[in-house]
Amino acid sequence: MIVGSISEDRSFENRVAITPEVLKKYKALGIEVQLCKDYATHLGINDEEYKIEGANIIDQNDDIFSSSNAILQMNIPGDDNLNKLKKDQILIGVLDPYSNEKKLKEISSKNVKCFSLELLPRITRAQSMDILSSQANLAGYKAVVDSFSHFQKAIPMMMTAAGTISAARVLVVGAGVAGLQAIATAKRMGAIVFATDVRLASKEQVESLGGKFLTVEGSENLETEGGYAKEASEDFKKKQEELLRETLKKIDIIICTALIPGKKAPIIIKKEMIEVMQSGSIIYDLAASQGGNSELTKVNEIVETNGVKIMGETNILNKLPISASNLYAKNMFNFINNLYDKETKKFKINLEDEIIQKTMVK
């Protein structure tokens, strides 16, 4: 079996699907790896490093598509490369089936098997493949670091002979993987941290990290069987707004991480709430690519209103591409390992396997 990978569109994606470190694992399975020329030179990884570990470097993308059994990517390839996929080939990546529904239907009609890794079920066996967790963990950390770099005050409390500097107050909206890492990072840097989430089960996790959980009075647990947040009722939203409006008067930095899979991000921080925030405050919106949790978020822009900076980036992990690629490549290999039949030495699409069944885009 041969797996191949081509360069991503570097105008918006710096991560790669295969790193030199995982090549040994593919080799141990008996899987051949071929990559396009200058595959990861932008990360400081030259082709020679891949060759040393056993990869074949191919000059033309066409040759990779024509000879590979599976194509491994970070994102769905561009239209020019999608047309090169052939019958019985496998495409694996973060394919965003909600936004790319039409493209994926066209590919599937050619009998190309597509697997989108963000659809992995939240079961124990899939944890080593869980790209949402590995990438969100880094995103939560980086959002805190970036927002603190724009904040014009010290973060921890400091007691000096000249007086005391109060610790910064941080609110994390959404206590999933990204939110929990944001809480942990902000806490380690000396901030006072608050958090809110529609899933009551997250209260214990927030408090275990030293955060203070803001509970909406009379709220119910809005969590799906898969562990994701589901859309809140209008009554919940109204009560949450009232709680946040008062809280935000004393908050310096907000980290927004609330997302609902396949849907527009819920608007939680309304314009009138931002108006009561202190000048110099920061809102960092990790949900920007899905519309944002803040009403005033603009993708890849820093919006300033009443002295409050609102930051929204589509791909914060472009700022940590080496760490993000290392984790993603391991997730990808673990998925391939599950798809690969060691007896026949071929990829086996066993739809009785929940991991394969849930990630396959039909």
pLDDT, tens digit (0-9, with 9 covering 90-100), for 3-31:
999 999 999 999 999 999 999 999 999 99
**Known active-site residue 50:** no
Helices (H) and strands (E) in the chain, counts: 12, 18
Q: Who's near 283: CB < 8 A, 6+ residues apart? A: 253, 254, 256, 269, 274, 294, 297, 308, 309, 310, 311
Rounded to two decimals, what is the model's pTM? Answer: 0.90
**Known active-site residue 228:** yes
Of the candidates 112, 131, 245, the residue with the CA atom closest to the CA atom of residue 177: 131
**Known active-site residue 357:** no
Residue 350 amino acid letter: N
The catalytic position among 47, 63, 108, 122 is 122
pLDDT tier for residue 230 given thresholds of 50, 70 and 90: low
CB atoms within 10 A of CB 350: 11
Burial category of 43 from C-beta neighbours within 10 Å (exposed 0-12, middle 13-18, buried 19 and up): middle
Tokens found for residue 153 = 């005050």
Where do the domains of the chain lie, and which CATH numbers do they carry?
A: 2-119+321-361 (3.40.50.720), 133-318 (3.40.50.720)
pLDDT tier for residue 227 given thresholds of 50, 70 and 90: low
The catalytic position among 34, 89, 130, 240 is 130
**Known active-site residue 188:** no
Of the candidates 4, 25, 15, the residue with the CA atom closest to the CA atom of residue 330: 25
pLDDT tier for residue 226 given thresholds of 50, 70 and 90: low
For residue 241, what pLDDT is reported? 86
The catalytic position among 63, 96, 228, 323 is 228
The catalytic position among 127, 166, 208, 233 is 127
Of the candidates 202, 197, 205, the residue with the CA atom closest to the CA atom of residue 257: 197
User: What percent of the chain is helix, strand and coil (3-state, nearest 5)?
Assistant: 40, 20, 40
- Does residue 225 register a pLDDT over 60? no
Percent of the chain surpassing pLDDT 70:
95
For residue 190, what pLDDT is reported? 98
**Known active-site residue 127:** yes
